Amino acid sequence: AEESEIEEQIKELEYAVDNVQSLLSSLKDEENTLSEQISAEMDAMKKINDEINYYERKQREVHHQICELRLHQTNKVTAFGGDGVLRLLREIERHHKAFSMPPIGPIGAHVTLVNGDTWAPAVERAIGKMLNAFIVTNSEDACALRKCAREARYNFFPIVIQRFSRPRLIIPNHSLPQTSHPTTLSVLHSDNPTIYNVLVDVCKAERQVLVKDYNMGRAVAFDQRIPNMLEVFTLDGFKMFSRGSVQTVLPINKNLKIGRLRGSFGDQVKEFESHVSNIQQDIYQRKSRKRELEKKVQDFNRKLDNKKKRRLDVEREFMAKRMKLQDMQKSHAVDASLLPESTTNELLQEISDGKMVIKKKEALLETLKDKINEAEEKARTLKLSFEDLGESTKGEVEAFQKAEEELTEIEKEIHNAEANKLHYENIMNNKVLPQIKEAEAKYLELEKDRKESYKKASVICPESDIEALGDRDETTTEQLDAKLKRLNQRLMHESQQYSESIDDLRMLHQEKERRILRKLHTYKAFRERLDACQKALDLRWKKFQRNASLLRRELTWQFNGHLGKKGISGHINVSYEEKTLSVEVKMPQDASSTIVRDTRGLSGGERSFSTLCFALALHDMTEAPFRAMDEFDVFMDAVSRKISLDTLVEFALAQGSQWIFITPHDISNVKNGERIKKQQMAAPRS
C-alpha cells in the first residue's frame, strides 16, 4: 500500500511537471512572437529614420541653393563662379596694366535668353562650364589672367583666346540645321561680338538643337537625319548625338547647376521655399510615425518584460517540481546493491575475498583443463606417431617412454587439481555461502531501517538542503545534536522577538526587493533624463555665450564703422557680468593718443555724433518697421551735421525701413531720391 501510494504521488508530480512544462513552452513561444514583433517595428523605425535623414539632407541642399540664389540676386556675376569670380575680377582690376586688353567674362554674365526663360535648362546643359569662361585676346593676357587667378585662389575656370578685333561672324542659312526647333545660338543674345564668336567657334552653339522632351529628342537626333546638326539637348537634361552608325544618349548630369541664366531668381527662390515646406511636412509626418512606432516598441518591450518575469517564475516552479520528482524517484528506486557502510563493511570484505579465491581457483582450473586437453592431444599425437613409426623407429622408444612419464605426471597433477577443486567447493558450500546469505538478510533489514529513517529525516529537512550544505561526513552525531539545539534556541529567541512568521517575513523581503528594484529603475530613468537635460543646457549656454560675445563684437564694429566716416575711432565695452556699457572715443586731433572714456569729456557736437553712431549701430542690429530721430544734430557744426545727415540717409536707404528725421536745421544739402521725402515747415512768425 505504501509502495502504491508513492507511485501515485510520483504520477501526480509527473503530471504537474508536464503541465508546467507545456505552460513554459507556450510562454517561450509568446516571448519569441513579441521579440519578432519588436524586431519588425525596429526595422520599420530604422527605415523611417533613414527617410528622415534623407529628407533632412535634401532640405539642407535646398537651403544651400536658396542662399546661392539670394546671392545671385545681389550680384548676377556670382552665379558663374561664386565669390571666387568676384575676387578674380578685383585682381584683374588691380592688375589691369598687365593686360593688353581687359579680359571679358564670365561669359554667362554677358548673355541673356531671348523670349523668356523656357530654354534655360537646355542651354545651360549645352554650354556647360563655358558659362564660367573668360576671354582674352592673346596668350600673354592668358598668362596674366592665370596669375591673377592664383592670387585670387580661383583656378578652375576655362580661358578662351579670341581676337577682340575680329568682327561678328555671319553664318549663312545653309550652314545651319534645317529644322523648326531652336538652336542654342538662336535663343541667346549678347551685345559683344567676341562672346558671339566664342559661342560659335568653341561651343558650336549654332549646331546644337534644343527640344522639349526625350522622345522628340530621339526623333530629331536619330530618325530625321538633319544636316549640319551636331547635338540635341532636351529640357529634361539629356544629350543625344550620332557619329556615323553609333547613336549615343547621355543621361542627366546631376552635378550641373541649373537656373543661372534665368532673368528672375525670385521665382526660383519661391519654388525652392515651397519645396522646403513640402520637405518639412514630409519630415514632420515621418517623425510622427516614428514616435508612434517608438510607443509601440515601448509597449511591446513592456509586454516582453512581463512575459519574461512570468516565464522565470514558471521556470522556478518547474525546477522545484522536477527536483521534487527526482527526489521521490531516487528514494523509490534505490539500487539494491548499496549497503550501509557502518554495519556491512566486514561482511562485504569477506564476500569479496571469497569471490577472489574462487576466481583464482577457477582460473587455475581452466589452466589445468587447457593443459589436460593439450596433453591429451599430445598423447594422441604421440600414440599415432608411435603406431606409425614403432617398427621403423626403434631408436625413439626411449623418447616415447619419457613422454609417457610426462603424461603420467600430468595426469597426477590433474587428479590433484580435481581434489583441490572438491576441497574448495566444500569450503564454499559449508562456510562462505551461509555467511553471504546471512549478510544479505542483514542488508535487507538495514535497508528497510534506512528507508524508514530517510522518511523521518525528510519530514524534518529535505535531502536537497543537506546536499547544499556540502560534505558533512566528518561531523559526528553529537556535534549535529549540539548544533541543532543551538539553532532551536536561536529560533525560539527570534520567534519571541519577531511575531511574524518566516513566510510573512520572506514575502515582506520579496516585496521590499521589488520596490527597491522599481525605485532603482525609476532613478536610472530620471538620471538619464537629467544627464540629457544637463548636456542640452551646457550646449545652449555655450551657444548663448558665443552669441553674446559675437553681438558685442558686432556692436563695436558697427559703431567704429560709423565713426570712421568722420575720422574718429572708438570702442564699446559691454560687461554682461556687471551689466554695464561704456563708450570709448579717440579723436583724430588728439596728439597724445589718449582715449576719452567718458562722453562728458567731449564737445557737444562730438558727443552728439558719437551718440548718433552708437544709435545707428544698435539700429543695424535690430528690426523695426519704422523709426524716428529727433535732435540728433544738437551742438554740431556744419561739417558734422552734413556727415551725420548723409550717414543717416544712406543707412535708412540700405535698411529699407521707414525713417523719420526731425531737425530744426537746413536740410537743403540732403540729396534727393525716389525714396526720400523732405517736408519743411514754414518759419514761425516773429
pLDDT digit string (tens) for 510-527? 999 999 999 999 999 999
- Which of the four pLDDT bands, split at 50, 70 and 90, describes residue 682? confident
pLDDT at position 347 over 70: no
Three-class secondary structure of residue 640 per DSSP? helix
Alpha-carbon distance of 555 to 572, in angstroms, equals 7
Longest alpha-carbon distance in the chain: 194
What count of other Cβ atoms lies within 10 Å of the Cβ of residue 451? Answer: 14
State the pLDDT at residue 392: 58
List the beta bridge partners of residue 575: 580
Query: Which amino acid is residue 322, in one-letter code?
Result: R
Q: Is the pLDDT of residue 424 over 60?
A: yes
Contact 77, 85 (CB under 8 A): yes
The predicted pLDDT at position 602 comes to: 67
Cα–Cα distance for residue pair 412/360, rounded to 1 Å: 21
Question: Parallel, antiparallel, or unpaired: how do β-strands 658-662 and 208-211 relate?
Answer: unpaired
Q: How far is CA 174 from the centre of its chain?
A: 64
Q: At residue 2, does pLDDT exceed 80?
A: no
Tell me what pLDDT residue 343 has: 47
pLDDT at 341: 47
Find the helix packing angle between 2-74 and 265-332, rounded to 10°.
170
Reading the block at residue 416, the C-alpha cell is 590433484
- On whether the CB atoms of residues 305 and 400 are closer than 8 A, the answer is no
Q: Which of the pair, 73 or 218, is modelled with greater confidence?
A: 218
User: Which residue carries 523656357 as its cell?
Assistant: 118
pLDDT of residue 160: 92
Measured CA to CA, the distance from residue 65 to residue 75 in angstroms comes to: 15
- 346 vs 480 pLDDT, higher one: 480
Task: Decide: residue 469, CB within 10 A, 0-12 exposed, 13-18 middle, 19+ buried.
Answer: exposed
pLDDT of residue 257: 61
Distance of CA 655 to the CA centre of its chain: 46
Enter the DSSP assignment of 220.
I
DSSP class of 585: E
Beta pairing, strands 658-662 & 626-630: parallel
Mean pLDDT of the 369-393 span: 70
pLDDT grade for 685, boundaries at 50, 70 and 90: low
As a whole-number percent, the residues of the chain with pLDDT over 70 amount to 85
Rounding to the nearest 10 degrees, give the CA dihedral for residues 280, 283, 289, 294: -120
Closest CA to 305 of 516, 518, 512: 518
pLDDT of residue 396: 60
Between these two residues, 71 and 497, which has the higher pLDDT value?
497
Environment class of residue 131 by beta-carbon count within 10 Å: exposed (0-12), middle (13-18) or buried (19+)?
buried
Region 278-293: mean pLDDT is: 85
pLDDT of residue 679: 79
pLDDT in tens, 208-249: 999 988 888 888 888 888 888 889 999 888 899 888 778 888
> Which stretch of 241-250, 274-283, 314-323 has the lowest confidence by average pLDDT?
314-323
pLDDT class of 336 with cuts at 50, 70, 90? very low
> Mean pLDDT, to the nearest integer, of 112-137?
86
Q: Among 155-159, 456-460, 610-614, where is mean pLDDT lowest?
A: 456-460
Beta-strand relationship, 112-113 and 239-243: unpaired
Please state which of the ranges 64-78, 86-100, 235-249, 645-659 shows the lowest mean pLDDT: 64-78
Give mean pLDDT, residues 87-100: 89
Residue 134 contacts residue 104 (beta carbons within 8 Å): yes
In eight-state DSSP terms, residue 671 is P
What was the pLDDT predicted at 134?
A: 93
CA 146 to chain centre: 46
Q: Are 69 and 268 in contact (CB under 8 A)?
A: yes
Lowest mean pLDDT: which of 245-249, 410-414, 600-604, 665-669? 600-604
pLDDT surpasses 70 at 394: no
The CA distance from 318 to 22, in Å, is: 10
Other beta carbons less than 10 A from residue 208's beta carbon = 26
The torsion angles phi and psi of 130, rounded to 5 degrees, stand at -65, -15
**Cα 20 to Cα 431: distance, rounded to the nearest angstrom:** 57
Which residues make beta-bridge pairs with 209? 183, 232
Mean pLDDT of the chain, nearest integer = 80
DSSP states of 470-489 as a string? ---TT--HHHHHHHHHHHHH
Q: How confident is the model at residue 286 (pLDDT cuts 50, 70, 90)?
A: confident
pLDDT at residue 342 is higher than 60 = no
Strands 188-189 and 112-113: antiparallel
The predicted pLDDT at position 70 comes to 64
SS3 at position 586: strand
Question: Are the C-beta atoms of residues 88 and 81 closer than 8 Å to each other?
Answer: yes
In the predicted structure, residue 377 carries a pLDDT above the cut 90: no
Question: What pLDDT band is residue 156 in, cutting at 50, 70 and 90?
Answer: confident
pLDDT number for residue 544? 92
